[in-house]
Chains A and B, each alone.
Chain A
Amino acid sequence: MSNITPLPLADWIDAFVEWLTQAEFIFGPLTDFIGYLISGFEWFFGIFPPWLLLLIMVGLTFWFAGRKIGLTVFVLLGLLLIWNLGYWEDMVLTLAIVLTAGVISIVIGVPMGIWMSRSSAVEGAIKPVLDFMQTMPAFVYLIPAVAFFGIGMVPGVVASVIFAMPPTIRFTNLGIRQVPTEIIEASEAFGSTGNQKLFKVQLPMAKTTIMAGINQTIMLALSMVVIASMIGADGLGTAVYFAVGRNDVGGGFEAGLAIVIVAIILDRLTQGIGASKRK
């Protein structure tokens, strides 16, 4: 084997990325746009004093996640703990990153999923790309993200989107394809247009499945928070990252616990919104 020259795959990719970074006219505005989104969320959360935001989050969980008393009490205690440990600011930043990544994933992912559901050719083409996006180690996305978007929150969001978007696309596609033929036929037989069929029948029928995908996406985005902290995306992840660097078990555990609490809240909330209110 030693006689065979290895393919210069790494060089090619470097060259390609180098070439791409020239396209400042694309990445400049994109960076700005994502930056605005993050700041928007940050600003929004900043409006409320911590105690009010805390109460709002507890209220939302109670309202959307099936009015479970136990869960609500847990969320209340968890958020109080985060506040008490001094991670409130970090948590807000993390929420801003996760929500930005989530919103971008939904805005791109749902239409992609719809497109995929309409044509088997498109499905066949996109599926391997999604597999690629999900199986490539998440760290790898950090490198081009830095190349295109520099250091900070924005590349963190970009890397999160790439890593977290596939479930939304997949589940949207799946949800629409799973609608029983007869129901589609019923909608067509009454003379629905393509859009009427989509918005009046397919999307409502697929809603639960799509929400399961969005739930997955949010969870994956949250899991990227720690990884993205390596390229300067601030928040709870940074606290964990620094603790690892300093071999600070206690601090790392605190920050990690905060992430877990946020994860549980986001998970129950998105699941709750997805579940049909009518049983």
Chain B
Amino acid sequence: MAKIQVEDLTKVFGKRPSRAIKLLEQGKSKDEILEETGCTVGVNRTSFSVEAGEIFVIMGLSGSGKSTLVRLLNRLIDPTEGSVWVDGDDLARMDDKGLRKIRREKMSMVFQQFGLFPFRTILDNVAYGLEIQGLEEEEKKKKADEALQLVGLGGYGNMYPDELSGGMQQRVGLARALAADTDILLMDEAFSALDPLIRKEMQDELLELQGRMKKTIVFITHDLDEALRLGDRITIMKDGRIVQIGTPEDILQHPADDYVAKFVEDVDRSKVFTAEAVMKRPEVLTIDKDGPRVALQRMKKEGISSLYVTNKDRTLLGIVHADEVSDLVEQGSEDIRSVLHEDVPTVQKDTVVKEMIELLTYKNTPVAVIDEENKIVGIVVRGSVMALLSGKEVSAVE
């Protein structure tokens, strides 16, 4: 079951929300409803689910309703209609006591302007959630300190927020959320207030932490590059509605409409797509079975000038080139190993295309894609990378 399940969630700000809801159901637009009722539609009947352990990015420009949406998830804003199921409980219909329990035990939040308490020390800031949970003084200190270590601010516990830089303050914000030890992290534009270099550093760190902790993260951002970097799945919002939900590659390859298409137009695709997305099924030579003649014939058939050589279990051994194999055949030798080049360019499945470009530029051979056990799973040729970068459909191996 999904960790968070959102159904028909709607938020209308204003005095007569019920009328606005009726108009929404009639399919009126946000502007028309504002005109007629004076109500602002924040979030318009959105449904989605967030799986445990994924980073779910909600992306949209300002006014798209993304910040409202994340506040509906922990009910900092009360929904007008709809449900938010967290581990099977509907937050929207919960009493205050139940809601507080969920907030204490299940979800914590990181804020755009950090939301730190200026009159508390860093350690006491981090310990806030634990204090609310009612932990003993000593355990509280210990856990808060661990969380601070985790974000690399071990020695800063006795300082105050205004003594730290923005990036460090947001680490404190993150530590405060992590210290509460909740499954779900809501991050509202958490890195938007940081300058680009620090932002990238924080993104890397979040990914690294996530690799270890496997939280369920709902991350709000207006920055598409950030969304693509962090998101396992991305939701694109516009005018309070969800326009598209998908993996980063989905969204780049199959934009749901013109809005999304225009949005993703300028994205550096080479940073998003991985070897897996552009690789083709490899033609290989099995070393103990196939000789030089088979190799030549196979190259001729495929119209290629080199061939990867593997074991029976597809472990990559090296590459052979057509000219050398053909010499071998003329000499009447069967020893394919004598012309085997072991120094071959390889990448992993999750290597991004950007990092392969150099390999493809200087060597005239395709790049081999291997798995953890050094087995070949595909090859990447220049043509498919160029097709991808130009925005054309590429055919990945099934």
Q: A: which residues have CB within 8 A of B?
A: 180, 182-183, 185-193, 196, 200-201, 204-205, 207, 276, 278
Contacts and interface: CB of A to CB of B under 8 A. Distances in A.
A185 B76 CA distance: 7
Contacts of B74: 189
Contacts of B112: 182
Nearest to B119: A204
B144 to A, nearest CB: 13
A201 to B, nearest CB: 6
Given A201-B117, A204-B119, A189 B76 contact: yes
Contacts of B104: 190-191
Given A185-B71, A205-B119, A190 B129 contact: yes
B113 A191 contact: no
B113 A188 contact: no
Interface residues of B, number: 31
A18 B337 CA distance: 118
The interface residues of chain A, by DSSP majority, are classed as: helix
B109 A278 contact: no
Interface string B98-119: 0111111101110111111111
Contact of A278 (B76, B111, B113, B160): B160
Nearest to A188: B76
The 6 closest A-B pairs by CB, nearest first: A186-B115, A191-B104, A191-B103, A189-B109, A190-B129, A182-B115
B111 A186 contact: yes
Given A182-B112, A186-B115, 9 more contacts: A182-B111, A185-B71, A185-B76, A185-B111, A186-B116, A189-B109, A190-B128, A191-B101, A196-B132
B351 to A, nearest CB: 38
Given A185-B76, A196-B132, A190 B108 contact: yes
B180 interface: yes
A74 B119 CA distance: 32
A253 B107 CA distance: 66
A203 B109 CA distance: 22
Contacts of A190: 103-104, 108-109, 128-129, 132, 176, 180
Interface in B70-120: 71, 74, 76, 99-105, 107-109, 111-119
Contacts of B117: 183, 186-187, 201, 204-205
B244 interface: no
Contacts of B40: none
Contacts of B128: 186-187, 190, 200
Nearest to A208: B119
Nearest to B101: A191
Contacts of A180: 113, 115
A189 B119 contact: no
Of the listed residues B100, B101, B160, the one surrounded by the most CB atoms of chain A closer than 10 A to its CB is B100
A188 B114 CA distance: 14
Nearest to B163: A278
A25 B76 CA distance: 48
Contacts of A182: 111-115
A73 B116 CA distance: 40
A207 B160 CA distance: 17
A252 to B, nearest CB: 45
Interface of B: 71, 74, 76, 99-105, 107-109, 111-119, 128-129, 131-133, 160, 176, 180, 186
B126 to A, nearest CB: 11
A122 B108 CA distance: 32
B108 A189 contact: yes
Nearest to A207: B119
Contacts of B118: 205
A4 B13 CA distance: 52
B21 to A, nearest CB: 25
A83 to B, nearest CB: 39
Contacts of A187: 117, 128
B111 to A, nearest CB: 5
Contacts of A186: 109, 111, 115-117, 128
7 contacts: A180-B115, A182-B111, A183-B116, A186-B117, A190-B132, A207-B119, A276-B119
Contacts of A204: 117, 119
Given A190-B128, A190-B132, A205-B119, A185 B109 contact: yes
A193 B105 CA distance: 14
Contacts of B113: 180, 182
Nearest to A183: B115
B111 A188 contact: no
Of the listed residues B71, B107, B132, the one surrounded by the most CB atoms of chain A closer than 10 A to its CB is B132
Given A183-B115, A186-B109, A188-B76, A193 B100 contact: yes
Contacts of B103: 188-191
Contacts of A276: 119
Contacts of B116: 183, 186
B71 A191 contact: no
Contacts of A193: 100
B192 to A, nearest CB: 13
A188 B99 CA distance: 10
Of the listed residues A188, A193, A207, the one surrounded by the most CB atoms of chain B closer than 10 A to its CB is A188
A188 B77 CA distance: 11
Contacts of B76: 185, 188-189
